Amino acid sequence: MIFMSKLQKPLSAHGSLWSLFLMILFLMAVTACGAAPPILPTTATVDETFSEENEGDLVLPEGVASFDKNFLIVFDNSGSMAESECGGKDLQPVEESLGNRRVDVAKWATTKFVQESVPADVNVGFYPLNKSEWRVPFGKDNREHILAAIANMGAGGGTPLNRALKEGTDLLKAQRARQLGYGEYYIVVVTDGEPSDGDDMKGAEYAVNNNVSVVTIGFCLGEKHALNKYSVSSHNVADPSELFRALRDTQAELKEYDFK
């Protein structure tokens, strides 16, 4: 018994050394296999946002990088557009159904502009100053909707150009976000008078400060209209015959912006 008791101690020590040796071999084998280190949780960057409804869920930006051009038509359908000065009487031999009011000329001109001047690959939206139910969101396959909205334009209400330019710019900013900051952005204003919500044209200034180009097609507007100052292109039409030249000149000028 004394002999066996003395023998067990060295055997126990030998077993511990053997276990340690096997453990070292195992670790060396794992390292040699190139096992990936454990994945640690990461912290969201300051640029990432979270949804309000499900706090902690990341809200990824929607949209795709796109160089599409975007084009918002702001259409003046205010009460003054019912006047006949600069109306469509002289155009009736060309367009028999065209009425005598300014709004009739504006509808005719805008329809031609959409049909003949705007390429099919441009996103177009329609924004009447009044009758918000006829607004048409941006798109490439929405031309028939825009033409239908134009056809339904009457004349009544004020001329809130500043509001329209501000809201229109915000719509284009949202579209720019969907395109991840790429693309080109334009507002085309078809109007016959001064704004009824302030003559400082803060809306136009807001557009320019947000890299939105303004184009003005005016009916019976003076050369000193405040909107002209902020426009990359402006045409003031005093009679229907000038309208043809204005459209032609506008088309030529906008070739610089890749319009037809």
**pTM (predicted TM-score):** 0.71
Q: Contact 215/189 with Cβ under 8 angstroms?
A: yes
Instruction: State yes or no: pLDDT of 11 exceeds 50.
Output: no
Query: Is the confidence at residue 56, as pLDDT, over 50?
Result: no
pLDDT (0 to 100) of residue 147 = 97
Amino acid found at 123: N
Model confidence pLDDT, tens digit, residues 159-200: 999 999 999 999 999 999 999 999 999 998 888 888 888 878
User: Which residues are within 8 A (CB) of 109 and not within 5 positions of it... i.e. 6 or more apart?
Assistant: 190, 217, 237, 243, 247
pLDDT computed for residue 96 by the predictor: 57
pLDDT at 23 over 70: no
Please determine, for residue 117, whether its predicted confidence score (pLDDT) is greater than 90.
Answer: no
The pLDDT, as a whole number, for residue 86 is: 74
Comparison of pLDDT for 55 and 107, the residue scoring more: 107
For residue 118, name the pLDDT band (cuts at 50, 70, 90). Answer: confident
Residue type, 136: V
3-state secondary structure the chain: CHHHHHHHHHHHHHHHHHHHHHHHHHHHHHHHCCCCCCCCCCCCCCCCCECCCCCCCECCCCCCCCCCEEEEEEECCCHHHHCCCCCCHHHCCCCCCCCCCHHHHHHHHHHHHHHHHCCCCCEEEEEECCCHHHCEEEECCCHHHHHHHHHCCCCCCCCCHHHHHHHHHHHHHHHHHHCCCCCEEEEEEEECCCCCCCCCCHHHHHHHHCCCEEEEEEECCCCCCHHHHHEEEEEEECCHHHHHHHHHHHHHHHHHHCCC
pLDDT mean across residues, the chain: 76
Cβ–Cβ < 8 Å for 197, 162: yes
pLDDT, average across residues 138-167: 95
- Which pLDDT score is estimated for 91? 52
pLDDT at 237: 77
Confidence band for 19, pLDDT divided at 50, 70 and 90: low
Kindly list the domain boundaries of the chain, sorted by start residue: 69-257
User: How many other CB atoms are found less than 10 A from the CB of residue 238?
Assistant: 15
In terms of pLDDT, which residue wins out, 56 or 158? 158
54: left (phi over 0), alpha (psi -120 to 50) or beta: beta
pLDDT attached to residue 253: 65
89-113 per-position pLDDT tens digit: 655 545 556 677 888 888 888 888 8
pLDDT at 41: 39
Residue 161 near residue 129 (C-beta atoms within 8 A): yes
Q: Determine the Cα–Cα distance for residues 124 and 143; give it in Å rounded to an integer.
A: 8
Residue 46: the pLDDT is: 31
Nearest to 66 by CA among 170, 138, 131, 12: 138
The answer to whether domain 69-257 has CATH 3.40.50.720 is: no
The confidence score (pLDDT) of residue 258 equals: 52
Total residue count of the chain as it appears in this document: 260
pLDDT over 60 at 10, yes or no: no
Beta bridge partners of 185: 70
